[in-house]
Amino acid sequence: MGLGVLKLDDMTESGFFLQGAVFSFLILAGALFEIFFCYQGDPYLLPVVQTILAIGLVFLTRINPALAADQFIWANLGLIIYYAVFLILRDYRKLGEYQYLWGMLALLMLLLTLIFGTTINGATSWFRFAGMGFQPEELVKVALLLFLASYLSDNKELLRFGTIQVGKFSLPDAKTMGPFVFIGVFVLGLLGAQKSLGTALVFFLLMVFILYVATERLLYLVVSVPLVMVTGAAGYILFDHVRVRVATWINPWLDASGGAYQISQSIFAISGGRLLGTGLGNGIGAYQIPNADTDFIFSVIAEEIGFIGAMAVISLFIIVVMRCFCVSTRAVDRFGQILAAGIGILIGVEALIILAGVTKMLPLTGLPLPWMSYGGSSMVGHFLLLGILAGISHSSAFSVSQIPIGKQADAL
């Protein structure tokens, strides 16, 4: 229908038409996907993500049509990647075999970015080649998740019960804990050196939560609290822009036209939306907030479709995260289980941190909202994960009830 309007408005030249057509086709393909490929996995994940994607595209078109044209390409590419990952990767368990490769790949990508990367908005997290910007850290997320999931599925018992007794606690030995700590420290260290502190926080929470999921040991959660405090304090002392962020978080109204411009404009936009919003296209925030197309897209949404619309978007994210956990509980093997939970944790943590940032509940950290903010790297990365998730979910469909335990792997 939208395409028809574009056609009527004689806007077929605008570049939206072709991309819109491809997008519509891919969405339709998604609907037929289950039938064509006998997809037996979670039926909610893809439609919900597509809804998030569509809302994001609508708002991007409203905020910045030029960027939206790009984003259509990325969205289409993302959907293709999703289908491709699902089709090519017949057995996701193979991913678990390259445990240390993923870990090293993550480190290598971050290291290369740090050395050759470009600095944008204070963070050295961009690779530029052929005129295109690319954020490797989005792919690092995928690599890191794969590493963590396979590592944890191999070492779950050791981490859970420990081999060395220290006082009341039984801790895993250095050899078991080594790779995890090594990769963790390096990944976070490199991100810190790049000054991508938001991403560092996401990775840190991801590692802590996934460790907890795998081991169910509260000890790991408890230990992480002082760690967050110490690293947070270190970041505060080391980096100027962290101090500014914290100061503007505590009182944005002191310097609302200077350092706190972003956050105060974001708050003004959100509060301007009230219950029902100003109506799509009527908001002021789309012109006033810097980075309205990426980090602050949620503020524009909250202004233009109000509390009701913003809650709908939040609910969509809750559904995605919860479905990830559902997939996780039903997964047939430990690797898939941890991986699916990890994907859920990652998406949830990302959404929470940036949403809490734009609503001034946490200091602001620049992060894209998955599937919604403008950005190709994030789109590709998240669709990769979604594709893997579909694989896990699909596999679990032929599970426990029909196939004897122990032979599940052979059955596929």
Partner 1 sequence: MNNGIRKIALIMVFSFVFLSLGLVYWQVVKADEMLDNPANRRAIYLEERITRGGIFDRNGVVLAKTEQTADGKVRTYPQGEMFEPLLGYATVKYGSAGLEATEAETLLGMKNPSILRRIQNAFELQRTGNDLILTLDSRLQETAYQSLQGKTGAVVAIDPQNGDVLALVSQPSYDAGAIEQDWDEIIAEADSPLVNHAFSLFPPGSIMKVVTSAAIFQAGLDTTELYDCEGSTVINGQTIQEQNDKAHGWVNYDLALAYSCNTYFAQYGIKAGVNHFLEAVSNFGFGRDIPFDQYVPISSITRDDPLPENLSLNLFAESTFGQGQVMVSPFHMALITAGVANDGKIMVPHLIDSVLDSKQNSIYRRTPEVWLTPLSKEEAEKITSGMVLAVNKGTASPGAISGAQIAAKTGSAEPGGDGDTHAWYIAFAPAENPEIAVAVLVEHGGTGGGAAAPIAKAVIEKALELKEGEN
Q: Residues 19-58 vs partner 1: string with x where CB under 8 A?
A: ----------------------------------------
Binding-site size for partner 1 (CB under 8 A) equals: 53
Piece of the chain touching partner 1 by CB under 8 A; list 38-46, 113-121, 350-358, 380-388: 350-358
| 111 or 314: CB nearest partner 1 | 314
Which residue in 316, 340, 319 sits closest to 388, CA to CA?
340
102 binds partner 1 (CB under 8 A): no
Instruction: Calculate the alpha carbon distances from 151 to 97, 102, 333 in Å.
Output: 10, 10, 14
- Helices 16-36 and 45-63, interaxial angle, to 10°? 180
Query: How far apart (Å, rounded) are the C-alpha atoms in residues 50 and 1?
Result: 17
Backbone angles phi, psi at 405, to 5 degrees: -60, 140
H-state helical runs in 260-296: 261-273, 285-288
Q: Which of 272, 363, 366, 381 binds partner 1 (CB under 8 A)?
A: 272
SS3 401: coil
* 348 contacts partner 1 (rule: CB under 8 A): yes
- Convert residues 301-320 into a mask of x (bound to partner 1 by CB under 8 A) and - (unbound): -x---xx--xx--x--xx--
Q: In this chain, which of 48, 355, 367, 380 binds partner 1, going by CB under 8 A?
A: 355
Choosing from 29, 164, 282, 290, the residue that interacts with partner 1 (CB under 8 A) is 282
Q: Which member of 170, 278, 291, 399 binds partner 1 (CB under 8 A)?
A: 278
Residue in 58, 73, 179, 334 binding partner 1, rule: CB under 8 A? 334
Residue 117 or 272 having the CB closest to partner 1: 272
Cα-Cα-Cα-Cα torsion 203, 312, 73, 327, nearest 10 degrees, comes to 50
Site for partner 1 in 131-190 (CB under 8 A): 156
Which member of 183, 270, 372, 384 binds partner 1 (CB under 8 A)? 270
Residue 313, token pair as written in the block: 């978007």
Single out the residue of 109, 123, 321, 372 in contact with partner 1 (rule: CB under 8 A): 321
Q: For residue 275, which amino acid is it?
A: L
**Which stretch, 8-16, 49-57, 205-213, 387-395, contacts partner 1 (CB under 8 A)?**
205-213
Quote the least distance from Cβ 221 to partner 1, whole Å. Answer: 9
Cβ-based nearer residue to partner 1, 70 or 255: 255
Helix (H) or strand (E) holding 166: strand 164-166
Strand order in the sheet with 132-134: 118-120, 123-129, 132-134
CA 186/CA 192 separation, integer angstroms: 10
Q: Minimum CB separation from partner 1 for residue 328, in Å?
A: 5
Which of 41, 344, 376, 391 contacts partner 1 by CB under 8 A?
344
**Judged by CB, which is closer to partner 1: 241, or 334?**
334
**Contact string (CB under 8 A) for partner 1, positions 236-265, x = contact:** -----------------x--xx------x-
211 forms bridges with which residues in the sheet? none
Residues 375 and 296 sit within 8 Å (Cβ to Cβ):
no
Collapsing DSSP to helix, strand or coil, 127 comes out as: strand
Is 215 a binding residue for partner 1 by CB under 8 A? The answer is yes
Beta bridge partners of 133: 128
Burial of 70 (0-12, 13-18, 19+ CB in 10 A): middle
State the number of CA atoms in the 13 A half-sphere of 358 facing the CB: 31
Binding residues for partner 1, per CB under 8 A?
Answer: 156, 209, 212-216, 253, 256-257, 264, 267-268, 270-279, 281-282, 284, 288, 302, 306-307, 310-311, 314, 317-318, 321-322, 325, 328-329, 334, 337-338, 341, 344-345, 348, 352, 355-356, 359-361
